[in-house]
A and B are shown apart, each in its own frame.
Chain A
Amino acid sequence: MNSNSIEPVIHARKLSRTYPFGDSTVTGINQVDLDIAPGELVVLKGDSGSGKSTLLALLAGLDHPTAGELVVAGHHLSNSAGADLTRFRRKVVGMVFQSFNLLPTLNLLENVCLPALLAGKPAEAARAKALELLDWLGLKSRLKHDPAQLSGGEMQRTAIARALINDPALILADEPTGNLDSRNGRVVIDLLAELNRSSGRTVLIATHSNLADSLAHRCIRLRDGALTDPTCDG
């Protein structure tokens, strides 16, 4: 490899995750080789069951690969555990889910502050940062609302704010538009693209929809757990 080339944010070699099922196993992903450079906006496509969520979970440090090598932002995820992973999740990645996953007992502002507070940042700083983000996302008037009182689009924007509060270098989104109408879906994808453009964050979006195709630097596709030729359409 060329020594001048920049270190990739995501570096996976022969990455596999299988699930035991009785005596046999079910393949989540199989022998995936993947490099994503800093500042890239990548769209991950594939049929349902092709392994998109499985891959994202590995990248986010929520799951362990059964085989292969995985380095994300310099963290060797294939052989780290416990405290390392926690630090990794706090500092390096921000996650956005299809079903938002806001905590119902916390209000909007508290939901956004949560990762910063968990990371031990002072409450004042977390609050200021959250207010700034929510203002940017147009949610300033809803600070004290419970998640149950928000629309899907508002919930997803809140989730994005939450993903951003610790200034992660990598944003992982799993079907972020899956539960939204096309207009709200557009808004969310535009926001993710904006994050990539303005602050050079790496963004990986797993999606069925074509909303992000035009904005993506690169498209990758999974079929039956393996990466196939990288084309966006079809």
Chain B
Amino acid sequence: MRRLTFFLRFFLWFSGRHLRRHLGRALVVLFGIALGAAVFTSVRLSVHASLHSFSRSMDFFAGTAEKVLVRPGGYVPEGVLPVLLAHPAVKDFSPLLTTFVRVYPPQGSSFLLIGIDPLLDQSFRKWRIRGDREKTAERWLDLIREPYTVILTEPLARELGTVSGARLKLEHARRTAEFRVAGILIPEGLALVEGERVALTDIATFQELTGLYGLVDRIDLTFKPKTSPLDIEDLARKLPDELELRSPSAARDSGTAMIRAYQLNLSVLSFASLFVGMFLVYSLVALNAASRRRELAILRAVGASPRLLFNLFLAEGALFGLCGWLLAIPLSSLLVRYLLHSVSQTISTLFVRVQVEGLVLSPWEILVSFAVTLCISIAAAFQPAREAMGVSPKEAMEIAQTGVRRRRSVRRLAAWAVGCILLCVPLSLMPGIGGVPLPGYLAILLLFVGFALLAPWMLERVGRALSPVLQRFAGMPAYLAGRYLRDSGARTSISVGALITAVALFTALVIMIHSFRQTVELWVQQTVSGDLFVTTKMGQVNRFRFPIPEPIVAGLSQLDVDADLVPSRRFQMTYGDFPYEFEVMGMETFLKHGGFVWMKGDPETARPLLLRGEGLLVSEVFANRTGLGIGDMFRAQIEGSRIEIPVAGIIRDYRTDGGVVFYSWKQFRQRFYDPQWSGVRFYFRDRTRDIDAQTTGLRDTLIARWGDRLDMISGKELRNGVLKIFDETFAITTVLLLIALAVASLGITTTLTVLVLERTRQLNTLFAVGASFGQIRSMICWEAGFLVVAGEMAGLACGFVLSYMLVYVINRQSFGWTFLYTVDWGTLALSFPLIVLAALVAALPAVRTAFREPPAALLRER
């Protein structure tokens, strides 16, 4: 205890006062690390909020079910209910249907309508109507007694401006019907699903509204005590083949796994800012250790142990971590506000639908952010602390402070660097672990470390090669700058390392986002081609599950327009645990107007196979996730049909994180059954006439005839929408990127300031032997220029390697997709003036600070 109080007091004396004297520097570093920590924390908290609301929603929704009976790609017929009723192992069961509906006339966004049998459901899910207990007649019975009644959650009722007993028109794919609000749900259990935007209705009413007579989405089951897996197998055997008994947590688990993987990706990205912040802490602690070497020697001479010195500097790092984290809290609360919404939106478009109610302060997440920030700062202080520990008391007796420079062999560092960089190759080739590209992330870390270690060698080379040339052509200041950099050793190279990291990150992300966007644009032009897309009402939000009614299909086919029609139907499927969409489409017409973005396989040979129905196309994501390649047999059970078709080609598709499989609609109908249309797109044949006008004309016709039953969107709007979602998704990345760059320019600022300040004595000497102020200023500018150019060059090189890893390793392993590699030179070039500017803005005030004391101070130094 006494030792600790002594240490704290001594720390305040020795380090605290020093930091206070150089407060500006300390504050810049603090701000840098706080910014890094804030980004890291707020990103994690935002994803956590989505994760929390998703898994909570899924849990309430799953209720107490032990197994769930489904029919992949379709509906479970109620005909199986007698089998369940008769089976000795089954205790309870409850059929269930869900869909998204909207009030009519349209107002607000759609919400989830759940169809249940209120009696059977009692033992599965918790839901109660407000005021039920006081009355003798429980109002939920109204659901059964009276058709077309709904129960709403309170927020939904408020949003729709309705109350218990009022009437409400609900609109669905097939029709619109009037409901009576039978009650309001108490906010618990099922009422908390989907961000509390749900309505309950009786299953019979639901089926009538949607036309799904005798069909349900799924049947939840519980078993009697002491039911063995064998009993469940027996039940499975008694059920029709195309039905599957699934674990109720399967959907939740795959969803949470996806969100977690996304959280890891964003964490890694946001960690970059912290990583750059780490360089900042390192450079300041290293400066303090180096510039106070003599003091350290004196301390040692008067009896301080090496351990004490080590702890002093480690504590300095810890102080930065602690204060940085505390400062990060208010910063995070600002950032989180922006991130919360965009993160949940991204998760909803890419993975699973989430509705975030608000921020959830998870103690675990807070602990993680605290621990990571603290560890990073302590780790950053580790090396300078080791250095401080090695100061010998003898140095206190040395008079000439030429600066003891124990330079580690630059070549040896370079050898390590090459080793690190080479190690990236095997690591990038390794598969991810559990869907997470851990070896890839490790490779990225090694890449950064490698380039940072290479920096001293590089600076030495540049300095050596340039200084004679510079002396001749650029004069003395440039020469001195070159000489200084050549010999400055590890100190400068750390700052260059930080710069390399930030530039590399900038380069790599710019390339990645640009490539991604170019590829998506191409995909949108090709695969999302078409002039007008038509689907059932709310087809999009209901994932195109409901077919367009027959009479409308007949009407659409006979429409008098000069356009080709490409009908399609999508089935939501899983391959093992991996969710994908099986889409059948009018292949021949589609290929005539649009096309696929091919990855593997030859479009010319695949085309006839596709048209004859002897082949299908799988998306890159699907191929990567399932390992299915060209020529392999694709097998699936879709509703009643068993499908076995070889893969004819692999194409790029970016509609979701899941996979897609394309097959010919015509051939599907011939070989299996009539898949009907869940959507249709129109291509105008006459491309010379104004497409917009034709689209509007067609739209008007369709609205006039089936406006209440169909949703439609022009191809242009749809494509723009896709690109807009893309841009919104990457807005987060861009923000993170800009913050990393900001932290890096803080780094350049401190580095240059420090480089100048720690040489006050040398600069004064230069001044005393006849250098003019201008010469010194131009020397510093040359130094800044060298650092920036070297950092920028190496950063670009590192960034190109990194971009390859991001596109071909990280994206492939975490999302399953890659892109066509393209470089956005324009934006890349932008980073250069940005950083040069930051460097100059930093360098010039530093010179002024260096000469704040008159050079006469030189005569007073010993």
- Taking the closest CB of chain B, its distance from the CB of A126, in whole angstroms, is 10
Are A89 and B768 in touch, CB under 8 angstroms? yes
- Give complex CA distance A175, B862 in Å: 11
- Give complex CA distance A45, B562 in Å: 109
Determine the chain A residues whose CB is within 8 A of the CB of B704 once the complex forms. Answer: none
Are B483 and A179 in touch, CB under 8 angstroms? no
- Give complex CA distance A148, B402 in Å: 6
Please indicate which of the listed interface residues B402, B770, B772, B861 has the most CB atoms of chain A within 10 Å of its own CB: B770
Binds A, one of B118-126, B215-223, B442-450, B852-860: B852-860
Report which of B476, B479, B761, B771 forms a contact with A101, defined as CB distance below 8 A: B761
Interface size class of B (residues with CB under 8 A): 35 or more
Q: B464-489 interface mask toward A, CB cutoff 8 Å, 1 = contact, 0 = none?
A: 00000001000010010001101110
Determine the chain B residues whose CB is within 8 A of the CB of A56 once the complex forms. Answer: 859
Please indicate which of the listed interface residues B403, B773, B858 has the most CB atoms of chain A within 10 Å of its own CB: B858
Are A89 and B770 in touch, CB under 8 angstroms? yes
CB contacts under 8 Å to A, within B354-378, are: none
Q: Does B162 contact A (CB under 8 A)?
A: no
CB contacts under 8 Å to B, within A140-197, are: 146-148, 152, 155, 162-163, 166, 174, 179
Are A104 and B402 in touch, CB under 8 angstroms? yes
Report which of A86, A103, A148 forms a contact with B773, defined as CB distance below 8 A: A86
- Give complex CA distance A62, B853 in Å: 11
Determine the chain B residues whose CB is within 8 A of the CB of A104 once the complex forms. Answer: 402-403, 405, 487, 762
Q: Does A41 contact B (CB under 8 A)?
A: no
Q: Does B333 contact A (CB under 8 A)?
A: no
Are A119 and B770 in touch, CB under 8 angstroms? yes
- Taking the closest CB of chain A, its distance from the CB of B696, in whole angstroms, is 74
Determine the chain A residues whose CB is within 8 A of the CB of B487 once the complex forms. Answer: 104-105
Determine the chain B residues whose CB is within 8 A of the CB of A101 once the complex forms. Answer: 761, 765, 768, 858
Are A86 and B859 in touch, CB under 8 angstroms? no
Q: Does B836 contact A (CB under 8 A)?
A: no
Are A62 and B768 in touch, CB under 8 angstroms? yes
Q: Does A54 contact B (CB under 8 A)?
A: yes
Q: Does B637 contact A (CB under 8 A)?
A: no
Determine the chain B residues whose CB is within 8 A of the CB of A131 once the complex forms. Answer: none
- Give complex CA distance A54, B765 in Å: 16
Are B771 and A97 in touch, CB under 8 angstroms? no
- Give complex CA distance A95, B770 in Å: 10
Q: A52-80 interface mask toward B, CB cutoff 8 Å, 1 = contact, 0 = none?
A: 01101110101110000000000000000
B475, closest chain A residue (CB) = A120
Determine the chain A residues whose CB is within 8 A of the CB of B854 once the complex forms. Answer: 57, 62-64
- Give complex CA distance A83, B772 in Å: 7
Determine the chain A residues whose CB is within 8 A of the CB of B775 once the complex forms. Answer: 118
Are B770 and A57 in touch, CB under 8 angstroms? no
B401, closest chain A residue (CB) = A99
Are A90 and B770 in touch, CB under 8 angstroms? yes
Determine the chain A residues whose CB is within 8 A of the CB of B479 once the complex forms. Answer: 117
Determine the chain A residues whose CB is within 8 A of the CB of B859 once the complex forms. Answer: 53, 56-57, 62, 97-98, 174
Determine the chain B residues whose CB is within 8 A of the CB of A99 once the complex forms. Answer: 399-401, 861-862
Q: Does A102 contact B (CB under 8 A)?
A: yes
A166, closest chain B residue (CB) = B770
Determine the chain A residues whose CB is within 8 A of the CB of B769 once the complex forms. Answer: 89, 95, 114-115, 118, 162-163
Q: Does B416 contact A (CB under 8 A)?
A: no
- Give complex CA distance A152, B397 in Å: 13
Are A54 and B856 in touch, CB under 8 angstroms? yes
Determine the chain B residues whose CB is within 8 A of the CB of A95 once the complex forms. Answer: 768-769
Determine the chain B residues whose CB is within 8 A of the CB of A125 once the complex forms. Answer: none
Determine the chain A residues whose CB is within 8 A of the CB of B768 once the complex forms. Answer: 60, 62, 89, 95, 101
- Give complex CA distance A148, B399 in Å: 11
Are A115 and B858 in touch, CB under 8 angstroms? no
- Give complex CA distance A225, B758 in Å: 31
A64, closest chain B residue (CB) = B854
- Give complex CA distance A205, B288 in Å: 36
Given the contacts A103-B765, A118-B476, A86 and B856 also touching, CB distance less than 8 Å: no
Given the contacts A103-B766, A152-B400, A155-B400, A86 and B858 also touching, CB distance less than 8 Å: no
B468, closest chain A residue (CB) = A123
- Give complex CA distance A155, B769 in Å: 15
Determine the chain A residues whose CB is within 8 A of the CB of B861 once the complex forms. Answer: 99
- Give complex CA distance A146, B269 in Å: 45
B776, closest chain A residue (CB) = A118
Determine the chain B residues whose CB is within 8 A of the CB of A118 once the complex forms. Answer: 476, 766, 769-772, 775
Q: Does B767 contact A (CB under 8 A)?
A: yes
- Give complex CA distance A208, B402 in Å: 24
Determine the chain B residues whose CB is within 8 A of the CB of A63 once the complex forms. Answer: 854-856
Q: Does A106 contact B (CB under 8 A)?
A: yes
Are B471 and A102 in touch, CB under 8 angstroms? no
- Taking the closest CB of chain B, its distance from the CB of A93, in whole angstroms, is 9
- Give complex CA distance A13, B488 in Å: 45
Given the contacts A115-B770, A147-B400, A105 and B858 also touching, CB distance less than 8 Å: no
Q: Does A82 contact B (CB under 8 A)?
A: yes
B762, closest chain A residue (CB) = A103
Report which of B483, B488, B761, B862 forms a contact with A106, defined as CB distance below 8 A: B483
Are A86 and B770 in touch, CB under 8 angstroms? yes
B859, closest chain A residue (CB) = A53
- Beyond contacts A104-B405, A166-B770, A174-B859: 10 other A-B pairs, Cβ-Cβ < 8 A, are A54-B856, A56-B859, A62-B854, A62-B858, A99-B401, A103-B766, A105-B483, A118-B769, A118-B771, A152-B399
User: Can you list 27 A-B contacts with CB-CB less than 8 angstroms, sorted by A residue number?
Assistant: A53-B859, A53-B860, A56-B859, A62-B767, A62-B854, A62-B855, A95-B768, A97-B859, A99-B400, A99-B401, A101-B858, A102-B400, A103-B762, A104-B402, A105-B483, A114-B766, A115-B769, A117-B471, A118-B769, A146-B402, A147-B400, A148-B400, A148-B402, A152-B400, A155-B400, A174-B859, A179-B399
